[in-house]
């Protein structure tokens, strides 16, 4: 039975077409505040985005920094770190130059002299910023080396116990990497396992890579001996225990030398900050009673100079010497 009216075209029902997926809206450009926060939290990333390929010609002048950055343990791309060095140098130069220029214009100094002084201060501040950022990886290398040398003997003992239990080399380093206590050796073990699990290296190649980027000569020699023992099928437990005993003996000798050095510093402290000031103050007190001057200065002025300037300077020197001698932890 037809139900279509006269003169009307038949309407054919068509299934509803599946809605086409709407095109993904373009991501909004990162705001200035987001870029500013990124520049503060990860300055090397923001620096590379700002400078990028503009500093390609400068990269060869920083090649000696590449192995230092690798040994420092900083997971930063080399070109990105060079970008940060250049950007910080530019910022510190502009800040120093602008500050002196504004200060000189406020006090209405001679324009030429103000600009010359501002240029000198800007170059000095820019050089300081360059030197500090350039030296940071080297300072980090020294810190990691000290920590690694201190932890190595205990890590070797742990590895020897695991090797005696029959664990293969990869499982030994995996156990070190999963330790709860944070340490430089644990971080290095995690990097070795990253090379194995993600980059696809075998354990011996990963150990060789770790040896090349190690900041510690002792750790590099340990990895070399560990690899040679595994390759030759030697007794891994015996090698680890003998290496741990050797390092502990070296640390015992270093501790004995440290005690002798601290004894010398203690004698110097007593001489410089106890005996010497007392002798000076007694001598100047007697001179003050007798009367007279010393080199055109009154005795009270010299006593104030000794008390408030010379003694604090000597104390600061002793603190710096102790900080350089004592282990960090």
Contact 47, 80 (CB under 8 A): yes
- What Cα–Cα distance (Å) separates residue 36 from each residue in 32, 41, 74, 77, 304? 6, 9, 22, 20, 50
163-177 per-position pLDDT tens digit: 888 888 888 888 888
pLDDT surpasses 90 at 319: no
> Comparing 77 with 46, which gets the higher pLDDT?
77
Average pLDDT, stretch 137-154?
86
The model's pLDDT over 12-40, given as tens digits with 9 standing for 90+, comes to 444 434 344 444 444 444 555 665 565 55
Beta strands in the chain (DSSP E): 293-294, 297-298
Mean of pLDDT over the chain: 81
Fold for domain 145-249? Receptor-associated Protein (1.20.81)
More confident residue, 126 or 305: 126
Residue 126 CB burial class (10 angstroms; 0-12, 13-18, ≥19): buried
Where are the domains positioned within the chain? 32-140, 145-249, 250-325
pLDDT score at 37: 62
Mean pLDDT, rounded, for 178-200: 87
Residues 263-278 have pLDDT tens digits of 898 898 888 888 888 8
The predicted pLDDT at position 23 comes to 45
**What integer pLDDT is reported at residue 22 of this predicted model?**
44
Give residues with Cβ within 8 angstroms of 77, minimum separation 6. 44, 48
**For position 3, what pLDDT does the model report?**
41
Which strand (E) or helix (H) includes residue 271? Answer: none
Helix (H, G, I), strand (E, B) or coil at 132: helix
Q: Could you give the CA distance from residue 209 to residue 225 in angstroms, rounded to a whole number?
A: 14
pLDDT digits (tens, 9 = 90+) for 197-234: 888 888 889 999 898 888 888 889 889 988 998 888 88
Give residue 159's Cα distance to chain centre: 28
Q: Which long-range contacts (CB under 8 A, 24 or more apart) does 209-217 make?
A: 213/67, 213/70, 213/71, 214/71, 214/148, 214/188, 215/71, 215/72, 215/73, 215/141, 215/142, 215/144, 215/145, 215/148, 216/144, 216/145, 216/148, 216/149, 216/152
Break the chain down into helix, strand, coil percent, rounded to 5. Answer: 75, 0, 20
Please answer whether residues 195 and 209 qualify as being in contact, where contact means their C-beta atoms are separated by less than 8 angstroms.
Answer: yes
Residue 95 confidence class, pLDDT cut points 50, 70, 90 = very high
C-alpha closest to that of 232 among 211, 206, 204 = 204
How far, in Å, CA of 318 to CA of 296, rounded? 31
Most confident of 67-81, 84-98, 237-251: 84-98
Q: pLDDT class for 120, splitting at 50, 70, 90?
A: very high
* pLDDT greater at residue 80 or residue 288: 80
Distance CA 289, CA 283 (A): 10
Instruction: State whether the Cα torsion 51-52-56-60 is positive or negative.
Output: positive
List beta partners, residue 294. 297
What is the rounded distance in angstroms from the CA atom of residue 76 to the CA atom of residue 65?
A: 12
pTM to 2 decimal places: 0.65
């Amino acid at each position: 039975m037809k139900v279509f009216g006269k003169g009307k075209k038949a309407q054919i029902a068509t299934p509803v077409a599946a809605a086409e997926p709407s095109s993904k809206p373009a991501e909004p450009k990162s705001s200035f505040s987001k870029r500013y926060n990124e520049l503060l939290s990860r300055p090397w990333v923001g620096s590379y985005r700002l400078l990028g390929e503009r500093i390609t010609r400068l990269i060869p002048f920083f090649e000696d920094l590449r192995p230092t950055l690798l040994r420092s343990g900083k997971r930063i791309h080399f070109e990105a770190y060079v970008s940060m060095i250049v950007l910080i140098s530019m910022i510190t130069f502009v800040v120093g130059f602008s500050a002196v220029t504004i200060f000189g214009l406020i006090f209405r100094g001679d324009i030429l002299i103000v600009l010359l002084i501002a240029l000198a201060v800007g170059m000095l501040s820019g050089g300081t910023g360059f030197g500090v950022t350039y030296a940071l990886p080297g300072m980090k290398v020294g810190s990691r080396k000290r920590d690694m040398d201190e932890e190595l003997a205990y890590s070797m003992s742990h590895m020897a116990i695991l090797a005696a239990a029959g664990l293969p080399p990869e499982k030994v380093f995996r156990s070190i990497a999963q330790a709860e206590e944070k340490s430089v050796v644990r971080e290095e073990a995690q990097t070795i396992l990253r090379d194995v699990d993600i980059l696809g290296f075998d354990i011996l190649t990963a150990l060789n890579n770790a040896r090349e980027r190690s900041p510690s000569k002792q750790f590099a020699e340990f990895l070399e001996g560990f690899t040679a023992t595994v390759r030759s099928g030697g007794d891994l437990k015996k090698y680890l225990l003998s290496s741990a005993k050797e390092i502990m003996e070296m640390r015992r000798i270093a501790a004995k030398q440290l005690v002798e050095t601290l004894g010398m510093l203690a004698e110097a402290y007593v001489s410089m900050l106890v005996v010497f000031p007392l002798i000076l103050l007694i001598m100047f007190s007697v001179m003050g009673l007798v009367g007279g001057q010393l080199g055109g200065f009154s005795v009270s002025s010299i006593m104030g100079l000794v008390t408030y300037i010379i003694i604090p300077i000597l104390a600061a020197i002793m603190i710096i010497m102790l900080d350089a001698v004592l282990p960090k932890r």
